[in-house]
Structures are given as structure tokens and as C-alpha cells.
Chain A
Amino acid sequence: MFKPNKRNKAASRRRLSDANASTSTFFSFLIRSQVKLATLLLASFGVVLNYNMIIGWEVTSQPRVQGATSDNSNVCDSSTFSPPEVPLFIKWEQFMPKTRDLFFIQIGANVGKNFVHVIGQVWLLS
């Protein structure tokens, strides 16, 4: 019967430890790859989602007030707002009558436009 001496024992432990190391390296590689893949998938999903949000802001900002169009070429009625919808505050001017110049006071005017850049989950009005 083989009885390992001290040297053999040490070598055996090293081999075992090497084997464990390669197994754990393999698993950690596998896990890292999966994490990377999941991150990639999430990032792609985020891009698509954010892209839709950007489009959403533009497309859905068409006015629905009778007689009004997005290019301001028509004149609204005196009852200008059509509940329950209005654009973001910064495009409210499209919903006002155009029979004469408007005098408005907008407090918290932000940047005055309605276009949004999305970086990660942060929306920046530009």
C-alpha cells in the first residue's frame, strides 16, 4: 500500500490546490462572462429604452388642440387648452391662440426647449 511521505503529501496537496485553482478560475471566468453578458444585454436594453424615450418626447409632443398644429401655422380657438393633455411646460406656447402676440410669464423656464438627451438614467434638457 502506498504511504505518502511528507514530500508526497505536499506534492499531492499542491496538485489538489492547483486543480481547485483551475476549477475556481474556470467558474469565476464563467461567472465573469455571464456578468459581462448580462451587463451588455442590460446596456443594450437601456439604449433601446432611452432611444424610445427620446422619440417619445418628440412624437408625443404634437398638440391636440382644435385648430392648432405643431408648426403653429393655425390659430387656436379662444378656449385654447384641451384637457386632459398639454405638452411639457416648455412647449405650452403651441397651445395658445395666435391671433396676436402673446405675453407670458414663465417662472421655472428651464432651458426653454423640449429636446431631451438621455445619458444613463439622467435626463438632460438641452
Chain B
Amino acid sequence: MAVELVPDTFLKLKTNYADMEALKRVVTLNYGVSDKSEYAKISGHGEEASIGLAVAADEEQVERDGLVEIATVTDIWGRMKDHIPSSGVDILVLDVEGNEGNILARENLPFPRPTRVLFEIAHLSVTEKDEIDEKLRSQGYRQSADLIHRDRLGLTMPPQDRLYELIVD
């Protein structure tokens, strides 16, 4: 499943995955993810898009104002419950431009817990990284690697991503 908040980016995602044979079965959702459920008005494009929280009285307003739903990770798991196989979730990948702390440090991950959690640390403070670390460890994860992006820019920078794996007894 691939979740993308920005509407025009989401449309490209849908088209791209539809074109890739191996990824045709990927379910795509135009959602934002945070630690609480709400709505957002998105303006701008791509990673430069700005996000303003909004209140939606009804579905008509959501449609009329072009609002995007912000869900919690638990909501996302709930929407996917019929699709999650018996083998569980192999990996949860997070790249939410600094909002990783709100998703990973506030609440426990829902069941079935993903075997791996990969998230961007480039925008996080030391405190946020520590909070996430504490929360994930309390759920049975261990940090297994700090990783760098494999592009020319990434190779010259400190690691941008962190990988945790669920410890299996």
C-alpha cells in the first residue's frame, strides 16, 4: 500500500504504479498520516506543498474544498485489514518530511506490527529521534542500521534514514 498526501503527486503515483507490472497490485491512498484524524487543505506541489489543517462539516465540503483526510497509522491499518496477509506487514516506510515523530513516538504501532520500520531521520531533532527510539524499543524493535540515500547528494551527507527490525524470540 502506498499513501501520499499531496493530490497531484498522488495522481502521478497512481499512474506510475499502474504502469509497473510488479506494482500493479499496490493499493494507493490519497491520505495524510499524523497522530490524530483531521482534514487538510493542500496548496502547492510536490515536496514544496503547504498544508493547512481544515475542519470539514460533511463529505460535500470535503469534495467542494478539495480537502484531504489525515488519518492515524491505526486508521490506515484498519482500512487495509482485509488486505493484510497472514504473513503480516513486511515493512512500514515513512517519509513524511519531519512528521515521523508524530507518527512513531506517540502511539504504539498497530497489530500486526511491521517486521521492519524504515523512516527518514534527516529532518528530526536528537530529541525526536530519542523519543522514537524509546517507543520502538518498548514494542520489541531494535535499531539495525543508519542508512544513506544512494544518490550523489545523499552519498556526501550523513545517513538520512533509520531502519528498525522487530526482534523475533
Chain A residues in the interface with B (C-beta under 8 A): 52-53, 56-57, 60-62, 72, 81, 83-89, 91-93, 96, 100-113, 124-126
Q: Which residues does chain B contribute within 8 Å of A106, judged by CB atoms?
A: 1-3, 92-93, 95
Chain B interface residues toward A at CB < 8 A: 1-5, 9, 12-13, 16-17, 20, 22-23, 26, 28, 33, 46-47, 73, 76-77, 80, 83-85, 87-97, 103, 114, 116, 118, 120, 144-155, 159, 161, 163
Knowing A85-B148, A92-B118, the reply to whether A105 touches B89 (Cβ < 8 A) is yes
Q: How far is B118's CA from A93's CA once the two chains are assembled, in angstroms? A: 12
Cα of A109 to Cα of B150 in the assembled complex, Å: 17
Known contacts A105-B92, A107-B96, A108-B94; is-contact A84 B147 (Cβ 8 Å): yes
Contact present for B87 and A100 (CB under 8 Å): yes
Contact of B91 among A100, A102, A109 (CB under 8 A): A102
A-B contact pairs, 30 of them (CB 8 A): A52-B152, A53-B152, A56-B151, A56-B152, A56-B153, A57-B151, A60-B151, A61-B151, A81-B144, A84-B148, A86-B118, A86-B150, A86-B161, A88-B154, A92-B118, A93-B22, A102-B91, A105-B77, A105-B93, A106-B92, A107-B76, A107-B94, A108-B3, A108-B96, A109-B4, A109-B13, A110-B95, A112-B13, A112-B16, A124-B46
